[in-house]
Amino acid sequence: MDFLLNPYYLQIIMFIIINAILGISIYLTMATGQLSLGNAGFMSIGAYVSALLTLKAGVPLYVAVPVGGAAACLMAAVIGIPTTRLRGIYLAIATLGFGEVVRVVILNLTITNGALGLSGIPSMSVMLSKVFTAMGLAAGIGGMSVRQLGNISVIFILAIILGFLVFFALRLSTSRLGRAFAAIKADEHAAEVSGIDTRYYKLLAFFMGAFVAGIAGGLAAHITFYIGPKDFAYHRAVEILLFAVLGGSDVVWGPLLGSLILTLLPEVLRFATEYREMIYGGILVIMMAFRPQGLISEDTLGFWQKKLMSKSEASTQGEISRRTTR
């Protein structure tokens, strides 16, 4: 039990969930065929706003994190209204530039503590442990200490948020909105001609991506106690992009798988830590050359569904035939 509840493993699980949320954020923008490299920037806004609110103003966490997301969303409006007029490469560069501007601004403001970053951000698990102590569970329950209990409940809360987002994304893809997104992704002109307000839907997708990235930033800040401008630089933007490129951006499971693999990979391949960026770079090139749609695409899902169906059919048939022969 203690082995499984090792704080290190618990921390990794938390990071996997945070990265999965980031994967969903890039999936939402990519659902309309827009490549936004600004999600690291939106994440940093969410992280800084919510961390400053809890750290300096004493705002409770459950208010601070959504406010961080809203701030990212607001920023997305400022940057998004001019940039969603742009397509493809222009949008990618403009959003990359936006991330860079955010980083430089954070580096220079006094309230964000410049290059040193913010430290001592109230940690979610510590907060929850305190709550548990106040509830009279100072000794812990079921062999778990209060600290472990705090960590477990953080994971629980994160998992609920992730589950909700996945549910939302799945519902989205079968809704009117999702079909409009898919139409824009397939062919923007055709979508416009058939009466879809492409500008509105692209902006909406951009906002949703920014909001989710902001939430992920706020949550990440309250898990790690420290954030600095370096955490949200170019490499972060590339890493978030990798989730979608490796896993695939057609279906929501793609970025989820991508974030799971890419968060576990450096932990499993400890010896390869120094080569991590090189491996990432190689993955990007190889994926683009051999499987640009990512590991999971709609075809993959269909294939496995069919296979599993036929397998279960075959096994039931086998069962029947065995019974009859007996």
Smallest distance, Å, CB 313 to other proteins?
35
User: What string of H, E and C letters represents the secondary structure of 89-139?
Assistant: HHHHHHHHHHHHHHHHHHHHCCCCCHHHCECCCCCHHHHHHHHHHHCCCCC
Our CB check for other proteins shows the closer of 82 and 143 to be: 82
Our CB check for other proteins shows the closer of 30 and 213 to be: 30
Does 104 sit near other proteins (CB under 8 A)? yes
Residues 194 and 184 sit within 8 Å (Cβ to Cβ):
no
Does 182 sit near other proteins (CB under 8 A)? no
Which among 1-9, 11-19, 105-113, 255-263 is the span making contact with other proteins, rule CB under 8 A? 105-113
Q: Which of 55, 59, 86, 170 binds other proteins (CB under 8 A)?
A: 86
Does 261 sit near other proteins (CB under 8 A)? no
Which among 11-19, 94-102, 254-262, 316-324 is the span making contact with other proteins, rule CB under 8 A? 94-102
Does 85 sit near other proteins (CB under 8 A)? yes
Rounded Cα gap, residues 281 and 235, in angstroms: 11
Our CB check for other proteins shows the closer of 17 and 184 to be: 184
Does 277 sit near other proteins (CB under 8 A)? yes
Does 107 sit near other proteins (CB under 8 A)? yes
Query: If you compute the radius of gyration of the chain from its CA atoms, what whole number of angstroms results?
Result: 22
Residues 72 and 22 sit within 8 Å (Cβ to Cβ):
no
Does 276 sit near other proteins (CB under 8 A)? yes
Q: Which of 11, 13, 66, 100 binds other proteins (CB under 8 A)?
A: 100
Rounded Cα gap, residues 9 and 223, in angstroms: 14
Our CB check for other proteins shows the closer of 67 and 105 to be: 105
Cα 38–chain centre separation: 13
Does 299 sit near other proteins (CB under 8 A)? no
Does 303 sit near other proteins (CB under 8 A)? no
Q: Give residues in contact with other proteins (CB under 8 A).
A: 35, 79, 82-83, 85-90, 92-94, 96-98, 100-101, 104-105, 107-108, 234-235, 238, 241, 245, 274-278, 280-285, 287-290, 292
